[in-house]
Every structure is written in C-alpha cells, then in structure tokens.
C-alpha cells in the first residue's frame, strides 16, 4: 500500500510544526490521517474520523516530544491511536449501547449502493472478528496503516518476533476461513 511521504522535507515540516506553523500541521495530517481512519474503521470504531482527529490532536500537542524520521512519526502516531482505541473500547464497555440511526432516517443516498456497501463492511468486520484481537491489530497495522514489523511492535508494545508470529497466525487463520467459504465451480 502506498502512503504519503514527505521525503527529505520531513525535518523542515516537523520543525515548522514545533514552531506552530499551521501549514506544517496540515502536511503531517495528510501523512497519517487516511491510514489512521482506515485502521479505526477496520477495528470497528463507531466514529473512526473523530477518533483519528482526537489522536492527531494529541500527537500535535505532544509534537515537541517526538524525535525521528517520518516513518517513526507514523509509528508514533499509530501508537497514540492504538491507545486511544483501547480507551474508547473501555469507555464503551462502561456505558450502555446506543444503536445506530435507522436507515429510515437517511434521506439522501442510493439505497442499493448503501446496501452493498453495508454488506461488504459487515463481511469485512465479521471476518476480522474471527481473529484474535492481537492478530487483528497486527494485520490492520501492517496492511491498513502500512507499518513495518518494528513499527507495529513499537505501536503495540510487543517484540518484533511476537509481531511476526501474530501476523503469521492471523494470516493462516484468514486463509483457513476464506478457503472454507470458497465456492466450488
């Protein structure tokens, strides 16, 4: 998966962000926002955009503490995001569930396209839910967030060897599930 990069400009952008330059925060936002939202969406967050914004706000407030290249910045932001996701899940477990708005309240949209989108999302979430939580976290950070093994290990507080093992077991579990669902012709 290709991700946005700043290349040699990262140090300049980081310095400008530390100085409070709004254009620099915008560049850093574009570096990580889309994969961060994708990660939260795949993790089943009820508000992936809001959680991504909250994560980036925390990261930008603590930008002075960050040291390293752009790839390390991505890993640092995803580490903050993963902690925010865990916090969101803990908070949700302590409060009653509020159901989503019914489809009848949606006034605008294509019902057929929305139904197919929902079926696809439901299938992806159901498939990911068959994985152990650690396996799901690793695979989503590797595929959706496009982090390498060391970055995933740092984000999750695990060793690179543990991340490799979780990735291997997660992919094997997905392979078994998908082959069991395969349609014979």
Q: In 10 A of CB 131, how many CB atoms?
A: 20
Q: Cβ contacts of residue 114 below 8 Å, gap of 6+?
A: 103, 106
Closest by alpha carbon to 118, among 99, 103, 138? Answer: 103
Helix/strand number for the chain, H first, E second = 8, 0
Domain count of the chain? 1
Question: In which residue are the tokens 């980081």 written?
Answer: 14
In a domain, 167, yes or no: yes
Mean pLDDT for the chain overall? 83
Residue 96: its pLDDT value, please?
65
In a domain, 174, yes or no: yes
Residue 98: its pLDDT value, please?
58
Least confident of 45-49, 59-63, 90-94: 90-94
> pLDDT, tens digit, for every residue of 106-122?
445 556 555 555 656 67
Q: Is the pLDDT of residue 124 over 50?
A: yes
What region does 96 belong to: left with phi over 0, alpha with psi -120 to 50, or beta?
beta
In a domain, 185, yes or no: no
What values do phi and psi take at 66, rounded to 5? -80, 135
3-class secondary-structure state, position 158: coil
Residue 24: its pLDDT value, please?
94
Q: Radius of gyration (Cα) for the chain, nearest Å? A: 18
Residue, of 99 and 92, whose pLDDT is higher = 92
In a domain, 103, yes or no: no
CATH code (residue 134): 1.10.10.10
Give me the half-sphere count of Cα atoms (radius 13 Å) on the Cβ side of residue 100: 8
> pLDDT, tens digit, for every residue of 40-54?
998 989 999 999 999
Q: Which two tokens stand for residue 107?
A: 């006034």
Residues 24, 14 contacting (CB under 8 angstroms): yes
In a domain, 74, yes or no: yes
Q: Which domain holds residue 175?
A: 7-97+111-180
> pLDDT, tens digit, for every residue of 133-175?
899 989 988 988 888 999 899 888 999 999 999 999 999 998 8
In a domain, 2, yes or no: no
In a domain, 75, yes or no: yes
In a domain, 105, yes or no: no
Give me the half-sphere count of Cα atoms (radius 13 Å) on the Cβ side of residue 77: 32
């Amino acid at each position: 998966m290709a991700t946005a990069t700043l290349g040699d400009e990262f140090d300049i952008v980081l310095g400008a962000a530390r100085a409070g330059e709004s254009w620099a925060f915008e560049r850093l936002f574009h570096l990580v926002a889309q994969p961060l939202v994708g990660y939260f969406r795949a993790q089943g967050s009820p508000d992936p955009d809001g959680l991504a914004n909250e994560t980036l706000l925390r990261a930008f407030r603590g930008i002075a503490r960050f040291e390293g290249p752009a790839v390390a910045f991505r890993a640092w932001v995803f580490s903050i995001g993963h902690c925010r996701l865990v916090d969101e899940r803990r908070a949700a477990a302590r409060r009653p569930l509020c159901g989503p708005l019914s489809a009848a309240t949606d006034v605008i949209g294509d019902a057929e396209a929305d139904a197919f989108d929902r079926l696809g999302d439901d299938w992806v979430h159901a498939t990911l839910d068959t994985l152990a939580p650690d396996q799901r976290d690793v695979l989503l950070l590797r595929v959706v967030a496009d982090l390498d093994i060391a970055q995933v290990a740092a984000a999750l507080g695990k060793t690179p060897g543990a991340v490799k093992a979780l990735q291997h077991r997660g992919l094997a579990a997905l392979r078994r599930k998908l082959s069991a669902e395969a349609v014979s012709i």
